[in-house]
Chains A and B, each alone.
Chain A
Amino acid sequence: MKKQVIVWLKNGMIAKINAQVIAATSHQVTFPSTTVDLPLLIEVSHQGLTTLIDLSGFKDCVVLQFGEDRYFTGATYCQNRNTGAFMIQSQARFIVMMPLPLPFPLEETEELMIKEIEA
């Protein structure tokens, strides 16, 4: 399933992205990179404080994180990893994984809006 993700930037511009959606129903999210395309939206539906996302072997990307109010809380780069495990732990409720390179400054990210894509 895909949804339209709209990222609002502080300078008034917006980035629209049709992203594949994954629901995080437990504290740990694992997905083989061969079955998941970027951009990717992770919607956290469990009630725990944090989610552990296993990005081992995943494609290079930037992980944008948003809180319950959908405001930007932080970001992580997932890039140039070789062998070995790579996980991030996040308190975010909405996580958008974008392919690199990113054409706007991370600090300009402000807010997230999510829309259903009409068939």
Chain B
Amino acid sequence: MSSQDVLPLSADKRAQGYGVFPYVILRLHGGVYMQFPIHFYEEKNPEKPGLRVRVDSLTNEKQNFSSLFNVVRQFHQQINPVEAKALKMCLVLAPFVAYFFEDNAFSFSDEIPEGGSLIDANYKVLALNSVHFLND
């Protein structure tokens, strides 16, 4: 990957939760990825784009993360069934921890999606040719 043509996530998109673990990546085409941030919340539903998961306590990270297989499965069911069959979905938890979802099964990978064109659910470009998470 060339360092000259990297377009990292903007400050505006960072504030909306993009680039923060955990998140879901939908592969639309080769090299085109759509990111959905996952927001945990206790009482007030955050008006931010992505998936919102109500939890008992924000400090109980183990318990909150343990719901994510179910969250991703439900999200997959919400997608148009024809598209869902063709689109690869990936739950990304850390720089070296991801689970690809297909046929009701999650496959572990220590390589997470990166590079290409990263877009949001409105098909707006988030980043180009960079990692999909904030590393600063």
Contact = CB atoms under 8 A, between A and B. Distances in A.
A101 B70 contact: no
A13 to B, nearest CB: 6
A39 B107 CA distance: 12
A14 interface: yes
Contact of B108 (A9, A12, A39, A100): A39
Interface of B is mostly: mixed
Contact of B96 (A12, A16, A99): A99
Given A39-B108, A103-B106, A15 B66 contact: no
Interface in B49-67: 61-63, 65-67
Contacts of A77: 62
Contacts of B108: 15-18, 39, 98
Interface stretch (B5-13, B97-105, B121-129): B97-105
Interface residues of B, number: 24
Nearest to A62: B62
B70 A11 contact: yes
A99 B107 CA distance: 13
B94 A103 contact: no
A67 B101 CA distance: 27
B91 to A, nearest CB: 6
Contacts, number: 63
A67 B15 CA distance: 46
B104 A12 contact: yes
Contacts of A13: 69, 73, 104-106
Contacts of B87: none
Nearest to B66: A105
Interface string A1-26: 00000000101111111100000000
B93 interface: yes
B70 to A, nearest CB: 7
7 contacts: A9-B69, A15-B108, A16-B105, A37-B110, A103-B22, A103-B91, A105-B67
Interface of B: 22, 61-63, 65-70, 72-73, 91, 93-94, 96-97, 99, 104-108, 110
**A-B residue pairs, 6 tightest by C-beta:** A103-B68, A101-B65, A105-B66, A17-B108, A16-B107, A104-B69
